[in-house]
Amino acid sequence: MSQDSTTVPETSRKLSGRRRREIVAVLLFSGGPIFESSIPLSVFGIDRQDAGVPRYRLLVCAGEDVPLRTTGGLELTAPYGLEALSRAGTVVVPAWRSITQPPPAAALDALRRAHEEGARIVGLCTGAFVLAAAGLLDGRPATTHWMYAPTLAKRYPSVHVDPRELFVDDGDVLTSAGTAAGIDLCLHIVRTDHGADAAGALARRLVVPPRRSGGQERYLDRSLPEEIGADPLAEVVAWALEHLHEQFDVEALAARAYMSRRTFDRRFRSLTGSAPLQWLITQRVLQAQRLLETSDYSVDEVAGRCGFRSPVALRGHFRRQLGSSPAAYRAAYRARRPQGGAPDRGPDRLERAERLGGDRAEVLEQRPGEHAMPLRRPGGPVTHTGHHHHPPHSPHPPGGTEPGKPESDAYAPRLPEQATGRAPGRPTLPGQRERPVG
């Protein structure tokens, strides 16, 4: 279950008698990054009852019998060992030093035992690799840093890796994306245990948003696991990335790989952790982002140059993944980074452009040669109404207009938002139907 869901799954096991729900154990390993390691220590290890935050009892545990040196060469001393995990109702693995190294067997055994006795197990960032090595993510949804998600999916094919979520709550096992997403998950845990008021009070003390919308979509890159370089699918993937401006579907990719669609889907998912259709849509949206940032092509032209069959398809997928329309994204980007030495339009415009995720619609200041574009609240999945208005003139075909033309989105259809429990942009899981590209 994602961070956008409105309900939280029930813990599947009853907590054993010797464990206490208010006790949180943090499992540290040598070589771990200090930022991720400090997140649960700050959230659960400081008494903030004066601010209305219920108190947890923190146990910092060494996951191995070696000096605990963090990134930067700092050496830590943990007051507890693995035996202390037997008292914890929640066990947090903030990070793991290397996704290529197996975690210590003793630590994995302690995590399995804690889970069997009803403890809630949490993996922040690369800590998901430790949970996966212990077998605690088998058959479950999980996430990690987007850069490592393909490797996690390839190494542990029974894990349903979702590289788009900031965190995933599957009841008694929870995982988060990289770095700051660990704060999001820890706040979610406080919210689950003690309610929104307590989580909000803690967020104010930490000076962070109590709940962030969206996911990792805007940070995704073309990165694929290094192992794919030796796989026959590597050539097909490289071809797809070089021909995103063309209209092709997954059937065409399967044909290039000389595979049936079913076999291609299975092989592709095992390599990348994502269904090929979802991966293709993501790459097209990423290419659209780049063009919106670096060119003056209109939204219609960007759609054509990214392989979408229509501007409507681009807008729908763009909004689902990034929470705003292409025109609003470009306006916000340019407001943050004035181009060509253009004068800054002042804090008022920048503030409005930055407030894409606000609760009320905002209208950006109209630029010369541009139509004013109303910004609507980003959020849940977007569905097309089945009809829309076209501009009174025919759009220019892809590649038929020289760069420098002012971008216009005045005829963008209004796409109704529907509140659902499913996070926007979530990859297709087994048993779900895929939507066609465009």
DSSP secondary structure string for all residues of 18-79: T-EEEEEEEEE-TT--HHHHHHHHHHHSS--GGGTPPPPEEEEEESSSS-EE-TTS-EE--S
Cβ contact 354:331 at 8 Å: no
* Distant-in-sequence, close-in-space partners of 76: CB < 8 Å, separation ≥ 6: 28, 68, 69, 70
pLDDT in tens, 77-118: 899 999 999 999 999 999 898 888 999 999 999 999 999 999
Q: How many CB atoms lie within 10 A of CB 437?
A: 18
Average pLDDT over residues 383-397: 37
d(CA 421, CA 418): 10
For residues 176 and 123, is the Cβ–Cβ distance under 8 A? yes
pLDDT of 286 higher than 80: yes
Task: Determine the straight-line distance between the first and last CA of the chain, rounded to whole angstroms.
Answer: 27
Give Cα separations from 109 to 98, 105, 180 (angstroms).
19, 6, 28
Measuring CA to CA, how many Å separate 229 from each of 233, 417, 437?
8, 40, 26
Paired strand residues for 124: 176
pLDDT band at 430 (very low <50, low <70, confident <90, very high): very low
Q: Are 184 and 166 in contact (CB under 8 A)?
A: yes
Q: What is the pLDDT of residue 419?
A: 36
Report the pLDDT value the prediction gives residue 341, as an integer from 0 to 100: 41
**Greatest mean pLDDT among 4-18, 52-66, 366-380:** 52-66
**Closest to 330 measured CA to CA, from 301, 307, 360, 359:** 301
Tell me, rounded to whole angstroms, the distance of Cα 197 from its chain centroid: 25
pLDDT in tens, 204-238: 988 888 877 655 655 555 555 544 555 678 788 88
Q: Residue 288 pLDDT > 70, yes or no?
A: yes
Cα 262 to Cα 269, 300, 400: the distances in Å are 11, 33, 37
Buried b (16+ CB within 10 A) or exposed e, 184-198: bbbbbbbbebbeeeb
- pLDDT at residue 191 in the model: 93
pLDDT of residue 215: 59
Average pLDDT, the chain: 75
> What average pLDDT does the segment 387-408 reach?
38
What CA–CA distance (Å, rounded) separates 92 from 102?
18
Tell me, what's the pLDDT at 409? 34
Given this model, what pLDDT does residue 263 score? Answer: 92
pLDDT > 70: percent of the chain: 69
CA-to-CA dists, residue 427 to 41, 215, 317, 424, angstroms? 32, 12, 13, 9
Tell how far CA 436 is from the center of its chain: 22
* Strand pairing report for 20-28 and 88-93: parallel
Task: Give the span between the Cα atoms of 60 and 138, in whole angstroms.
Answer: 27
Position 72 scores a pLDDT of 78
For 244-269, how does the pLDDT look when each residue is reduced to its tens digit (9 = 90+)? 999 999 999 999 999 999 999 988 87
Contact call for residues 267 and 305 (beta carbons, < 8 A): no
Q: Taking each helix axis from N to C terminus, what angle separates 326-336 and 346-354, rounded to the nearest 10 degrees?
A: 140
Contact indicator for 70, 76 with CB cutoff of 8 Å: yes
Answer yes or no: is pLDDT of 350 > 80: no
* 76/68 Cα distance (integer angstroms): 5
Vertex 218, ends 168 and 408: CA angle to 5°? 140
